[in-house]
Amino acid sequence: MSADAYGAIRTIYPWRSRAETYVTVPMLALVLFQGAAVVETATPGYWTAAVAKANLMLFIVVPLCAVCAAWEGMRHRSGGIDTQTIARPKWTVVFVAVGPTLVMGLAGVVAAVLSTAPAAVGAPGGPHLGLVGVYLLVMVGHTVVGYGLGRWLPPALALPVSLGGSYIWLAYPAAVEPFWIRHLNGLSFEGCCAIDQQPDARALLAAALFAVGIGAGTLVALAGARPAHVGGALSFTALLVVAVTVAAPLGPSSGGPRAGAPQCVGQRPTLCLWPEQETARDAIHPALASAYPRLAAVGVTLPETVTSQESNAADAVFIVLPAESDPQTAVLSLVSSIVPDTVPACAAEGEWPGAHNRAALLVWMALAAGVPASELGPVAPPELIDLAVRVRQLDEDRQAAWYRANLAPLADCTTVPRLDPELFASDDPQ
């Protein structure tokens, strides 16, 4: 056999014996398939939301990386690497062993982001690098732990423990309390983010610290005998304590207010939109500007500013708009924000007198704002549309009286609703 042929065999053989050679393609196929199934659930036109949705695909990528690394750890265990004298530092041996697994994991994370990117292609900005960085750290941490399990556990346990343990840690915390546990595994970002949100820095840091903790602790423990094992445990514990401290104030959501502020332009109303919504401004603002005097004529008090950033300011109303919005959606969102959504204390005991008033007020206000009745079919039952149309046949003063009379029962346990427009047809407006 020639030297060249022998060299080629030596190059090919290790790859034939590695699990990644057989796992990578199916893994990428699963990631892309799952991504195509969930991309439509991401907030459209917003890069941060698209990358956050890629979080789901870590359920596929990370456990497979852990089990592939465990396979390589088993091979080193069976080869007696702990009993041999090795010139290179042991951490170098570890990373040479798991290098191909890390490449596979990197490809998996990239594929996950690419699979959900169609939800944001063409939007301003780009992928959220903090999220991508956390995904990579989680993958690396589980990979190193998987290798350690392969070195320490009997072959019959190493593979199932690394695969099952990785998957359970990624999946289980989402179903338990306290809430801070959910932010340690790096899989709490799937529900983030609406267009006025971004991942909370604490959630990102907590997940990063935990991933670094399990990886660093395993590396230290692999460096030698009992003192190294103690050092590894101490390293992990220290980073775990810091991660828990960071995550403890968080609630169930990993999202927080978006940095910066939307751009505010126009008058009556001043309309504040995020960069992703700017292309819809020219269509949205005229519709809102038309709705303002129409609603004011029937007694609806309106703030000067309409904003897509959540706000408690008295002179601003928060509306929920997609990146690619249309005039009707904007007006319906305005109406929904204006009608109070309060629930009185007596609601805990059952239905109160005004329990159905909000739906009636929403439909009437949408009609008053200029939304055609024919467009309300998908969002309201026919009987409510018919009621609102009959109220709209009253003059403006009587509509204002109807509005005031039926607004009070929303947050009141005793006021009786007066939804029938006939009650206002002959009475003086009150």
Mean pLDDT of 385-392: 94
Sign of CA dihedral 108, 109, 115, 121: negative
240-253 tens-digit pLDDT: 999 999 999 998 88
Return the percentage of the chain with pLDDT > 90, whole number: 60
Mean pLDDT of 228-243: 84
Predicted TM-score (pTM) of the model is: 0.86
Which is more confident, 285 or 75?
285
Asked whether the beta carbons of 319 and 339 are under 8 A apart, the reply is no
Which DSSP letter does residue 377 get? Answer: T
DSSP state string for 93-117: HHHHHHHHHHHHHHHHHHHHHHHHG
Average pLDDT, the chain: 88
Q: How confident is the model at residue 66 (pLDDT cuts 50, 70, 90)?
A: very high
* 171-173-177 Cα angle (round to 5): 150
Q: How confident is the model at residue 48 (pLDDT cuts 50, 70, 90)?
A: very high
Name the nearest CA neighbour of 369 among 310, 309, 286, 430: 286
Whether the predicted pLDDT of 32 surpasses 50: yes
Most confident of 267-281, 300-314, 410-424: 267-281
74-129 tens-digit pLDDT: 887 776 665 555 555 666 777 888 899 999 999 999 999 999 999 999 899 999 99
The separation between the first and the last C-alpha atoms of the chain, rounded to the nearest angstrom, is: 104
Which is more confident, 421 or 1?
421
Mean pLDDT of 331-338: 94
Q: What is the pLDDT of residue 114?
A: 96
Say which range, 9-23, 157-171, 214-228, 284-298, has the weakest mean pLDDT. 9-23
Q: What is the pLDDT of residue 89?
A: 64
CA distance 193 to 51: 10
Give every CB contact of residue 370 below 8 A, 6+ residues apart in sequence. 287, 290, 291, 294, 331
Mean pLDDT of 204-225: 89
Q: What is the pLDDT of residue 8?
A: 36
Both structure tokens of 76: 């080193």
Whether the predicted pLDDT of 428 surpasses 80: no
Q: What is the pLDDT of residue 312?
A: 79
Both structure tokens of 92: 């170098």
Whether the predicted pLDDT of 272 surpasses 80: yes
138-192 tens-digit pLDDT: 999 999 999 999 988 998 899 999 999 999 999 988 888 889 999 999 999 988 8
Q: What is the pLDDT of residue 85?
A: 54
Which three-class secondary structure state does DSSP give residue 256? Answer: strand
Mean pLDDT of 412-424: 87
Whats the size of the chain, residue-wise? Answer: 430
Q: What is the pLDDT of residue 347?
A: 73
Whether the predicted pLDDT of 42 surpasses 80: yes
Asked whether the beta carbons of 424 and 387 are under 8 A apart, the reply is no
Q: What is the pLDDT of residue 315?
A: 87
Q: What is the pLDDT of residue 1?
A: 41
CA distance 42 to 35: 11
Q: How far is CA 336 from the centre of its chain?
A: 24
Q: What is the pLDDT of residue 354?
A: 83
Q: What is the pLDDT of residue 300?
A: 92
